[in-house]
Amino acid sequence: MAVSDHVDFNGFMEGVKRRNPHQPEFVQAVQEVAEDIFDFIEDKEEYHAQQILRRIAEPDRVVSFRVCWEDDNGNIRVQRGYRVQNNNAIGPYKGGIRFHPSVNESVLKFLAFEQTFKNALTGLPMGGGKGGSNFNPKGKSVREIMRFCQSFMTELYRHIGADIDVPAGDIGVGGREIGYMFGQYKRITNQFTGVLTGKGLEFGGSLIRPEATGYGAVYFLADMLAVKGADLGGKTAVISGSGNVATHAAEKIVHLGGKPVTLSDSGGFIHDPEGLTLEKINWVKAHKTHRRGRISEYCDEFTGASYHEGKTPWGVPCDVALPCATQNELLGADARTLVANGCVAVSEGANMPSDLEAVHVFKDAKIMFAPGKAANAGGVAVSGLEMSQNSERRSWSEAELQQMLKDIMAGIHARCLTYGEQGGGYVDYVKGANIAGFKKVADAMLAFGVV
């Protein structure tokens, strides 16, 4: 008789913890998925016999490498670079690159694990990966950033390729950094291929890629509200972060008639009771991206707003909330405050911004809660469309791409409903997303046998 992994949930998680010591973010991400998957596979013997969950929770490979670069004062600096290739059962590895001092193996393994399910949910043929470095771009000159990106790619290039692994941007990596990395890849390999997404429009980038994650998170929010016969018109939205995802989420909230009242960064948050207009959001985009400014300076520019140093925005009363900064930025107590203040829906623009306790608070209160792997999949979906455009050597129009993004988000929402409807009008979107994403990857793995 085959040895199966018919262990109980606690036994499974004990094994994950033992095999991944000092990797709390990775263990947390696996636990959140396993909580739902255990119920789903209870009566599905082939998943047990083939140890599918155990195999998905073990990355295909983790590459770690040294990145040396020279700062403007001639000092030699040494950083650590990574690429985690989690699973390529349904397509080439795909996932962003993060430059932030908090980057380590645990954070990237959690992100690559989540990415695997997210990419499956989009319906596009993409596996899951993630990479990055503990390099801190803050305070660095443009030339230092260019030298770092070139050095990072000088090692990374041997592990990636248009049909192997296609990285994109993430925290600290925007269009500029992708340009430097693409330039170095092309210089080393002498190939112009769709090896990275998030590229400039002049060299194979796709329209609406910068907007896609934030817009998609709001489309998903609107889809959830529509199930209840509601919409975003007149709704107050609390948003964290002030980077790519947060500013585009705020923009789409305004387009759909809502009122965003907060943004934040790692220093604190601003509260603008009048609401952020498109003009104010454009100022934030330019201020954070081009001037590398702080969100606190918003209050010098616009009267009526207040700055709250060292705080997160979850205490501001709202109808809907969009955490769009980073992992574990919304804790159990914050979730209780949001629910008590009447928040009816949360859509995660960031990856795993709510900790496990917060997720349980939202589920217990039965409010609409969209986990990042569903709600923020719009970014990678448009990256997938960028890959298709590169392969076909063509560019789709903005109108075509906007429609495709909307349709993909609606498709993800529908897949969540398939496995998440709990009766009585309540949809468990976490469960729906976990099971729909898992099933697609798991069934492909079954088809391949033991590899």
Give 79's strand partners.
Answer: 67
Six-digit token pair at 145?
């950033």
Nearer to ligand NDP (CB atom), residue 13 or residue 239: 239
Instruction: Find the binding residues for ligand NDP in span 246-265 (CB under 6 A).
Output: 246, 265
Q: Which residue is catalytic, options 94, 109, 118, 130?
A: 130
Six-digit token pair at 89?
């059962």
Q: Is residue 23 close enough to count as binding ligand NDP by CB under 6 A?
A: no
Instruction: Find the binding residues for ligand NDP in span 350-389 (CB under 6 A).
Output: 350-351, 376, 379
Residue in 79, 122, 184, 244 binding ligand NDP, rule: CB under 6 A: 244
At CB < 8 A and 24+ separation, what contacts does 421-427 make?
425/228, 426/366, 427/224, 427/227, 427/368
What mask, x for binding ligand NDP by CB under 6 A, covers residues 301 to 330? -----------------------xxx--x-
CB 219 within 8 A of CB 378: yes
Instruction: Find the binding residues for ligand NDP in span 199-218 (CB under 6 A).
Output: 213
Nearer to ligand NDP (CB atom), residue 106 or residue 326: 326
Q: Quote the least distance from Cβ 169 to ligand NDP, whole Å.
A: 6
Burial of 277 (0-12, 13-18, 19+ CB in 10 A): middle
Nearer to ligand NDP (CB atom), residue 50 or residue 264: 264
Does the active-site annotation cover 130?
yes
Among all residues, whose Cβ is closest to ligand NDP? 243
CA separation (Å) from 42 to 39, 53, 299? 5, 12, 54
Nearer to ligand NDP (CB atom), residue 48 or residue 287: 287
CB 50 within 8 A of CB 443: no
Q: Quote the least distance from Cβ 27 to ligand NDP, whole Å.
A: 18
Q: Quote the least distance from Cβ 264 to ligand NDP, whole Å.
A: 6
Residue in 31, 189, 266, 277 binding ligand NDP, rule: CB under 6 A: 266
CB 63 within 8 A of CB 82: yes
Nearer to ligand NDP (CB atom), residue 243 or residue 384: 243
The Cα–Cα gap between 38 and 53 comes to 9
Six-digit token pair at 425?
């009008």
Residue in 95, 243, 313, 384 binding ligand NDP, rule: CB under 6 A: 243
Residue in 326, 306, 375 with CA at minimum distance from that of residue 347: 375
Instruction: Find the binding residues for ligand NDP in span 114-173 (CB under 6 A).
Output: 169-172
Other beta carbons within 10 angstroms of residue 68's beta carbon come to: 13
Identity at 155, one-letter amino acid code: E
What mask, x for binding ligand NDP by CB under 6 A, covers residues 222 to 241? -------------------x
Q: Quote the least distance from Cβ 377 to ligand NDP, whole Å.
A: 7
196 Rama sector, left if φ>0, alpha if ψ -120 to 50, beta otherwise: beta
Q: Residues in contact with ligand NDP, total (CB under 6 A)? A: 23
Q: Dihedral sign, CA of 325, 284, 374, 161?
A: negative
Nearer to ligand NDP (CB atom), residue 270 or residue 361: 270
Matching residue, tokens 């209050």: 299
The half-sphere exposure of 361 on its side-chain side, counting CA atoms within 13 A, is 20
Residue in 179, 349, 371, 432 binding ligand NDP, rule: CB under 6 A: 349
Matching residue, tokens 């903005």: 398
Q: Quote the least distance from Cβ 92 to ligand NDP, whole Å.
A: 17
Q: Quote the least distance from Cβ 71 to ligand NDP, whole Å.
A: 20
Phi/psi for 155 (5° steps) reads: -95, -45
Q: Quote the least distance from Cβ 203 to ligand NDP, whole Å.
A: 19
Nearer to ligand NDP (CB atom), residue 52 or residue 126: 126
Q: Quote the least distance from Cβ 201 to ligand NDP, whole Å.
A: 16
Other beta carbons within 10 angstroms of residue 66's beta carbon come to: 10
Nearer to ligand NDP (CB atom), residue 53 or residue 105: 105
Residue in 196, 245, 358, 368 binding ligand NDP, rule: CB under 6 A: 245
Residue in 310, 294, 316 with CA at minimum distance from that of residue 243: 294
Residue in 354, 336, 335, 343 with CA at minimum distance from that of residue 317: 343
Matching residue, tokens 């700055």: 307
Catalytic positions: 130
Q: What are the residues binding ligand NDP (CB under 6 A)?
A: 169-172, 213, 241-246, 265-267, 324-326, 329, 349-351, 376, 379
